[in-house]
């Protein structure tokens, strides 16, 4: 990997055009650039440039069997990257009208123009339209869809700020566009749609901000079987993912906590309130709260990766995470914690 200076450019209102132009110029030259989305920061490249896409895998140290999400700037661009089957077209249109632009990714048959490297050889492509105006503006200016997985090293905590991206990828990429903190904080929901006799079946391959409750009016909802580790059906489905460098244990049963003498343990608490959860279970060396005092799932989802990163930097021997209720956004939070946990 060639070591280079990684620049950070603000995309605030007064710097907006400069940021868009700088990112677009690098992408047009075959480079990779870290861009903000509403979910997490993405590492973007022109989807139709296989050499540029290969840089994504190299920078992230991502295995080639893990496919990438393709982001379109406009609705018509969907036809450039995917083929919508006639038997699910009505359902797809309803979903796009309801959730695009936004954190919903669809798995569809891929367009022949999409390089196989993007889809890891699969006949399908993962595609969404980001709700972040900066990301979409850069895609429109470039005139090409963008392949963009999370802007971190493979398997690590997803970044929700430009600072977090810099810690992960400094010296590996030429530019980070700073669009502030991500508004959702969790990666997009990924779904697959199949036609049915009465209603289509929607399989939630990766839970995210678009919840089961939000999708159930569009079809029958089901969860997938465990994905083949050597051939995942979609991005973000590997069993070990989103992990801090510090070992993390999702402690679903209190009796499973057996602290070792001399080791430093930190707690990822839901509310941080004494008498609730695991706050009084141990004399923690550090503690972070997903939703301080409130127990609100949207706040917990937004703060998950930020709080994990803070605990990862606290010099601990192990992070203990509390479970939270698996309803709504709680399903996505628990999915990430299970994939980050050494006990998954």
Q: Please, which pLDDT band fits residue 73 given cuts at 50, 70 and 90?
A: very high
277 Cβ contact list (under 8 Å, min separation 6)? 269, 270, 271, 322
Q: What is the mean pLDDT of residues 52-57?
A: 97
Q: How far apart are CA 264 and CA 266, in angstroms?
A: 7
Check whether 227 has a pLDDT greater than 80. Answer: no
152 Cβ contact list (under 8 Å, min separation 6)? 60, 158, 159, 164, 165, 168, 169
Looking up tokens 């070591």 gives: 3
CATH T-level assignment (fold) for domain 7-178: DHBP synthase (3.90.870)
pLDDT of residue 234: 80
pTM of the complete model: 0.93
Q: Lowest mean pLDDT: which of 47-51, 94-98, 251-255?
A: 251-255
pLDDT in tens, 23-40: 999 999 999 999 999 999
Q: What is the mean pLDDT of residues 84-109?
A: 98
Q: Where are the domains of the chain?
A: 7-178, 248-340
pLDDT of residue 230: 58
High-pLDDT (> 70) share of the chain, % = 96
pLDDT of residue 299: 96
Looking up tokens 């602290």 gives: 259
**Which 3 state secondary structure label does DSSP give 147?**
strand
Q: Please, which pLDDT band fits residue 81 given cuts at 50, 70 and 90?
A: very high
Check whether 58 has a pLDDT greater than 60. Answer: yes
What class is the 248-340 domain?
alpha beta
Q: Please, which pLDDT band fits residue 3 given cuts at 50, 70 and 90?
A: low
pLDDT in tens, 149-199: 999 999 899 999 999 999 999 999 999 999 999 999 999 999 999 998 889
145 vs 232 pLDDT, higher one: 145
pLDDT of residue 240: 67
Check whether 315 has a pLDDT greater than 60. Answer: yes
Residue (of 245, 250, 314) closest to 286 by Cα position: 314
Both structure tokens of 195: 């036609």
Mean pLDDT, all residues of the chain: 94
Q: What is the mean pLDDT of residues 240-244?
A: 79
Both structure tokens of 190: 């990924």
pLDDT of residue 225: 64
Q: What is the DSSP string of 192-207?
A: EEE--SSS-EEEEEE-
pLDDT of residue 344: 46
């Amino acid at each position: 990997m060639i070591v280079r200076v990684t620049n950070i450019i603000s995309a605030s209102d007064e710097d907006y055009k400069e940021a868009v132009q700088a990112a677009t110029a690098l992408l047009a030259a075959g480079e990779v650039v870290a861009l903000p989305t509403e979910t997490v920061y993405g590492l973007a490249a022109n989807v139709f440039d296989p050499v540029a896409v290969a840089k994504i895998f190299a920078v992230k140290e991502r295995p080639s069997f893990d496919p990438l999400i393709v982001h379109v700037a406009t609705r018509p661009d969907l036809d450039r990257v995917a083929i919508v089957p006639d038997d699910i077209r009505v359902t797809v249109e309803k979903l796009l009208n309801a959730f695009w632009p936004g954190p919903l990714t669809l798995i569809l048959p891929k367009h022949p123009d999409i390089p196989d490297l993007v889809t890891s050889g699969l006949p399908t492509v993962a595609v969404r339209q980001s709700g972040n105006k900066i990301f979409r503006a850069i895609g429109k200016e470039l005139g090409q869809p963008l392949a963009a997985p999370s802007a971190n090293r493979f398997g690590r905590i997803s970044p929700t700020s430009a600072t977090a991206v810099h810690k992960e990828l400094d010296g590996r990429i030429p530019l980070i566009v700073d669009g502030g903190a991500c508004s959702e904080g969790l990666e997009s929901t990924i779904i697959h749609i199949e036609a049915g006799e009465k209603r289509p079946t929607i399989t939630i391959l990766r839970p995210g901000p678009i919840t089961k409750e939000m999708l159930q009016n569009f079809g029958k909802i089901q969860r997938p079987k465990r994905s083949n580790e050597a051939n995942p059906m979609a991005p973000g489905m590997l069993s070990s993912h989103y992990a801090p460098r510090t070992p993390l244990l999702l402690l679903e049963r209190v009796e499973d906590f057996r602290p070792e003498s001399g080791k430093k343990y930190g707690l990822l608490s839901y509310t941080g309130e004494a008498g609730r959860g695991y706050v009084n279970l141990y004399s923690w060396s550090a503690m972070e709260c997903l939703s301080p005092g409130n127990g609100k799932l949207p706040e917990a989802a937004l703060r998950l990766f930020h709080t994990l990163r803070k605990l990862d930097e606290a010099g601990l021997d192990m992070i203990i995470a509390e479970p939270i209720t698996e309803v709504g956004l709680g399903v996505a939070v628990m999915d990430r914690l299970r994939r980050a946990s050494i006990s998954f």
